[in-house]
Structure 1
Amino acid sequence: MVVVVEQNGTHAAAITPKRLTLDGIGARRAKAGRLVASTASYSDSDMFKSPYAYGKPKAKRWEHLFSQESLARGPCVLKQAAKYLKQPGMISLGGGLPAPENFPIDSLSLRVPTPPYFTEAETHGPLGQDITIGKYDARNPDGESVFDLSIGMNYGQSVGAAPLVRWVTEHTELVNAPPYSDWRCALTVGSTGALEQALRIFCDRARGDSILTEEFSFSTALETALPLGIRVFGVGMDGEGLVPERLDEVLSNWDPAARGGARKPTVLYTVPSGQNPTGATQSLQRRREVYKVCQKHDVYIFEDEPYYYLQMPAYNSSNGHANGHTNGHTNGHANGAVALPAETIEEFLESLVPSLLSIDTDGRVLRMDSFSKVVVPGSRVGWITASEEVVDRFIRHAECCNQGPSGISQLVMHKLVDETWGHEGYLRWLMHLRREYTRRRDTILAACEKYLPRDLVSWVPPAAGMFLWLQIDPAQHPRAGAVSLLEIEEQLFFTCIAKGVLATRGSWFRAEPDRPLSGLFFRTTFAAASESNIAAAVERFGAAVREVFGRS
């Protein structure tokens, strides 16, 4: 990134601002020495941020948006007492931390890939490596381990275990470099758990709070808000996702009476990259425009980014149908898109669309990251990044409700992404995943071009994620006008089932299910099935479309 600064009315030479690098992380760790963090040690991101993270303005304050529930939460007194355990010679009779000699697991062994050899065959063979986690590894003063089973199997702080908090803090600064100083990270029970906590921090049923999201949104997110008494309203979309002009229109013309008594929303929930279900990816310009609208209306943003690192090069098909998305970079490629998978870590990071967090000068973004889509879903480990004030509220909630993610899961993730791979190895893993998902995306798109009737079915090639959103023209149905869109959708859904293919009905993702459908859509995914089965499934879907629309 290069900026030009202005001094006394003249332009100074272009300079490259300093920020954290991979080499810088290594140097800082070497200078700091071995991390000492015993059972239930408290930590926070300020312990691990680089000097480049400071010297920036602080975030705005958000008490005026907090719920009464959140404002009423004080710190957990038992967790606060743990800070005294670091005093030399302290014998604890205070905390309910069981003795590790009574834990029945003495060691865990894992076989994992060695970067950059990530395939299953390579991992099974001599290029894989075995790592072992013992109960008391961290007690060896000459060893490298700082996190072991005696710590991971015990109670911990709700912010997360210090070694993994250090890693996610470094990773966040490396990739996003938030432009304000008092940002912090906290570990979460995946992104769904993080969303539930965030909703309860910012929304009150009693005051009629509501949130905005894309008109088609992640169904589980909608189902998370509903039992909390939070109304959800949809905002119009196009091929790049959320349309900022529609967002501004909704907020500018908000009428509580017309919205069933719901207050003007103060929260936007959005999935900017590879949006679920549509697969849409917001360009940098689109993200800036969405952020500007939120500033105008004082709306806080939940940025859910499980697919952020699954951004892909532009799709170019044999018939010239190409991906029109742009990532907002001027890197010399058509439409601003990456022409080829990145070959270096620097190219990979440069190819990613800057996040909302990275342009968040106000501290109005709570970003949710997760290992679920890029390592293992069952880990149930993720993290949030937000201002210190918001993260403090988040931790207070966790202390009383879930106490943070599983210690064993944190230990396994730390052993893999930090102690074994390191930041460089993890980024190489993400580069590997991008190539894998690019190939799968290209497979399903080629199958669509081959097997789907193009006058009936259309799509935008996804630039990220694992979903392809198919739009079917209902006007060509034999009984168009006599039957509803929902009836056509249901007919096509069960015809697909009869032909042996499952595609998800678009109506299941409506932010406002009581409103009429805006079109006929189906969500497909290229994440799970083999490439040969992907092609077979699309062929079956095409046959179902032809049958329902009288083309057989």
Structure 2
Amino acid sequence: MAPPSAVEVTAESDTSALTALSPLSLKGVSKRRAAAGRLIAGVAAEANVESFKGATQHLHKPKAKRWDHHFSAESASRKGNSLKQAAKYLRTPGLISLGGGLPSSEYFPFDELDIKVPQIGHFSPAETHQNGAIVKAGKHDLAEGKSIYDISTAFNYGQGSGSAQLLRWITEHTEIIHNPPYRDWFCTMTVGSTSALDMALRLFTQRGDFIVTEEYTFATAVETAAPMGVGCIGVAMDGQGLLTTSLDSILSSWDPSAHNGARKPFILYTVPTGQNPTGATQSLQRRKDIYRVCQKHDVYIFEDEPYYFLQMQPYTGSNAPDAPPPASHEEFLSSLVPSLLSMDVDGRVMRMDSFSKVVAPGSRVGWITASEQVVQRYMKHADVSTQGPSGMSQLILFKLLDEHWGHAGYLDWLVHIRLEYTRRRDVILAACEEFLPREVVSWKPPMAGMFHWLKIDYTKHPAYPRLSVPEIEESIFLKSIDHGALVMRGSWFYAETTATHNTMFFRATYAAAPFDKIREAIRRFGEAVRESFGMTDGMVG
């Protein structure tokens, strides 16, 4: 079934509109843009996020809490980029600027950029190759009235927030999907979520601090924190991710003397949807419970959500008919587990979004949503470090997301991606059912993301307890390599790398390999497990 088609909103007057029943029309994006007038933002233009939000939609909401008591000394000392503060004067009529050291676009060796992209509703590689749309960007499209964003603007220096043109789309998208329940929420662009995490840790933590996270967590997050002198405390997990009872217990019983005098953790880093590496997805109730525990202990939340839109169709079994895809944008959006941002009445969530998993990781474009106070501090750091995402990437994404697909077309694309990852998930699950020995390997079907988490009952290994858990894990890993299949060792994802663990897992991904290769890799891993456990008589050829 094809994804729902694009929805247009056509203004009739200043006070009414012809709309289709969809989240996009309810948010009135087209009408809002028409009322605001044409966006004019030249080189290094400041972006007014408040002007991209609904004018009256948020006035009834409370303002966010202030977080001065949690900001690091480094953050408090940042003054921002003094030169970029002059950008606000560029809007002065008739002003001749000899201020900023901006290269002349006359010397950019690019005149036109053509990109072939999918037509809405025709997203397959074959359809795109044969009949994809060519979107064009010229050097002087803005001056010539052809577009509000062009090469001369995008390829020059910009603000740490990113361009106003793409940031407007991001702000609207965030309002459509999450509609944060406090007034002064803001967005700013990032150079992907790994960079965002690095900067967020510097914003809040100092050497000797600890943060709390899932007991198995994104390895790069641990590796980002460690050189800063920031440690991780692992929270116990179940099939829905981190356990609130464990989180509450850790925070309630914190003993500084047991942690080198460290103060009680006040940062939670979590991946709520399709968690890396476990694939666990927090239910709505679990998210509400986590938020309440964080309120109780005044904990600030880093909500890292690269897999949010990879929430898949329900798993119906290898021989059951597929669940029908969402029939409309409303049905698609209502099927998503609400985000922590969408229930954040305090402004205690920094949500990290990314285009990496749903468009392309090489774009290195993402964004955070948080309170204005937090975002302003983040931007001061960005202005003297990353400076913002690549202008070339921003222009490409703007052409695709704003001018070509629009918000409705992007939702269509996300439905398409949902169905594609559902097929991939089902392929690996079918292979596991066929090739893995259920006597020693168990799993739960992932609801979202890219990862399949395989639990190994090491107590049935013939060398246990003579060999330790890490030794058995290593032997299975190396045996799998010998058989020609690479799966990741679960111990590589420990939040507490020096702690003792009595569980064993391996992480497989179904994100990229062709279907036949997924099946073959699982078959080879099954052979390796059987051989390691002395079950060679049951090998599947």
TM-score class, shorter: over 0.9
- 2:109 maps to which of 82, 104, 107: 104
Q: State the Cα distance separating 1:21 from its structure 2 match.
A: 4.0
SS in structure 1 of the partner of residue 142 of structure 2: helix
AA aligned opposite 2:107: N
Aligned to 1:409: 393
Which deviates more, 280-289 or 104-113?
104-113
Deviation (angstroms), 1:54: 2.6
Task: Please give the alpha-carbon distance, in whole angstroms, between the structure 1 residues aligned to 2:319 and 2:438.
Answer: 12
Q: Deviations over 1:293-322 (max 9, x none)?
A: 0000000000000000000122121589x9
For residues 26 and 354 of structure 2, what CA distance do their matches in structure 1 show?
A: 21
Deviations 1:437-472 (A, max 9, x none): 000000000110111111110111100001000000
Instruction: Give a deviation string over 1:131-185, Cα, whole Å, max 9, x none.
Output: 11111111123x2x11111011100011110011100000000000000000000
Number of the residue aligned with 2:249: 249
Residue among 487, 491, 494 paired with 1:510: 494
Corresponding residue for residue 280 of structure 1: 280
> What is the CA deviation profile of residues 395-428 of structure 1, one whole-angstrom value per residue up to 9, with x for unaligned ones?
0000111101111111111111111110001110
Whether the 8 Å CA contact 1:44–1:159 is kept in 2: the answer is: no
Alpha-carbon distance between aligned partners in 2 of 1:100 and 1:318, rounded to the nearest angstrom: 57
CA contact (8 A) 1:20 1:52 kept: no
- 2:164 maps to which of 148, 162, 179: 162
The letter of the residue matching 1:408 is M
**1:90 equivalent in structure 2:** 95
**Aligned mates of 1:120, 1:221 — CA distance in 2:** 33
Moved more, 191-200 or 51-60: 51-60
Q: Which residue of 2 aligns with 1:11?
A: none
Rounded Cα–Cα distance in structure 2 between residues aligned with 1:420 and 1:520: 47
- Name the structure 2 match of 1:7: none
Aligned-partner Cα distance in 1 for 2:271–2:382: 23
- 1:394 corresponds to 2:369: no
Q: Give distance in 1, aligned partners of 2:377 and 2:246.
A: 31
Using the size of structure 2 for normalisation, the TM-score is 0.93
Q: Report if aligned partners of 1:44, 1:165 keep a CA contact under 8 Å in 2.
A: no
Percent of aligned positions that are identical:
59
- Whole-angstrom distance in 1 between the partners of 2:214 and 2:183: 30
SS at match of 2:44: coil
Does the 8 Å contact 2:24/2:407 carry over to 1?
Answer: no
Aligned equivalent of 2:85: 80
Counterpart check, 1:435 vs 2:419: yes
> How far apart, in 2, do the equivalents of 1:242 and 1:115 lie?
38
CA distance in 2, matches of 1:27, 1:511: 47
Kindly state the Cα deviation for residue 532 of structure 1 after the two structures are TM-superposed: 0.9
Q: CA contact under 8 A between 2:24 and 2:408: conserved in structure 1? A: no
Tell me what 2:185 maps to: 183
Residues in 2 aligned to 1:148 and 1:130: alpha-carbon distance in whole angstroms: 16
Consecutive unaligned residues in structure 1, runs of 5 or more: 1-17, 323-337
Query: How far, CA to CA, are the matches of 1:515 and 1:521 in structure 2?
Result: 16
- Cα drift, residue 22 of structure 1: 5.9
1:114 and 2:95 aligned: no
Equivalent residue number for residue 44 of structure 1: 48
- The answer on 1:356 being equivalent to 2:340 is yes
List 4+ stretches of structure 1 deviating above 3 A: 18-23
What code does the residue aligned with 1:407 have?
G
User: Which of these residues, 116, 125, 129, is aligned with residue 130 of structure 2?
Assistant: 125
- Asked if structure 2 preserves the Cα contact closer than 8 Å seen for 1:152 and 1:411, the reply is yes
Aligned to 1:134: 138
Deviation at 1:259, TM superposition (A): 2.1
Deviation string, structure 1 residues 7-61 (Cα, Å, up to 9, x no partner): xxxxxxxxxxx98746600111122222111111101320100121332000000
Say if 1:20 and 1:173, in contact at 8 Å, map to a contact too. no
The letter for the 1-side match of 2:186 is R
SS in 2 for 1:401: coil
Q: Given that residues 53 and 173 in structure 1 are in contact (C-alpha distance below 8 angstroms), is that contact kept between their aligned partners in structure 2?
A: no
The answer (yes or no) to whether the contact 1:39–1:155 under 8 Å persists in 2 is yes
Q: Secondary structure at the match of 2:83?
A: helix
* Whole-angstrom distance in 2 between the partners of 1:98 and 1:170: 31
Give me the whole-angstrom Cα distance separating, in 2, the residues matched to 1:314 and 1:495.
33
Shift of 1:339: 4.6
Change (3 A) 1:20 1:435: closer
When structure 1 is superposed on structure 2, of 226-235 and 269-278 the one drifting more is: 226-235
Q: 1:68 aligns with which of 45, 70, 73?
A: 73
Q: How many residues align?
A: 514
Distance 1:93 1:533, change over 3 A: same
Secondary structure (helix, strand or coil) at the match of 2:383 reads helix
Q: Which amino acid aligns with 1:182?
A: D
Across the aligned residues of Structure 1 and Structure 2, the Cα RMSD in angstroms comes to: 1.5
| Structure 1 residue 436 displacement after superposition | 0.2
Instruction: Say if 1:44 and 1:184, in contact at 8 Å, map to a contact too.
Output: no
For residue 410 of structure 2, what is the aligned residue in structure 1? 426
User: Can you list the C-alpha shifts for 1:245-287, whole angstroms capped at 9, x where unaligned?
Assistant: 1000000011111123322101000000000000000000000
Q: For 2:414, what is the secondary structure of its paired residue?
A: helix
Matched, 1:498 2:479: no
Partner of 2:18: none
**1 CA distance for matches of 2:309 and 2:25?**
18
Corresponding residue for residue 430 of structure 2: 446
SS in 1 for 2:213: strand
Offset from partner CA, 1:496-529 (integer Å, 9 cap, x none): 1111100000000000010112311000000010
Amino acid at match of 2:110: I
**Corresponding residue SS for 2:189:** strand
1:312 and 1:341 in contact (8 A); partners too: no
Alignment partner of 1:217 is 2:221: no
Q: Which amino acid aligns with 2:410?
A: Y
Amino acid at match of 1:395: M
Cα displacement (A) at 1:341: 2.1
Is contact 1:159–1:186 with CA below 8 Å preserved after alignment?
yes
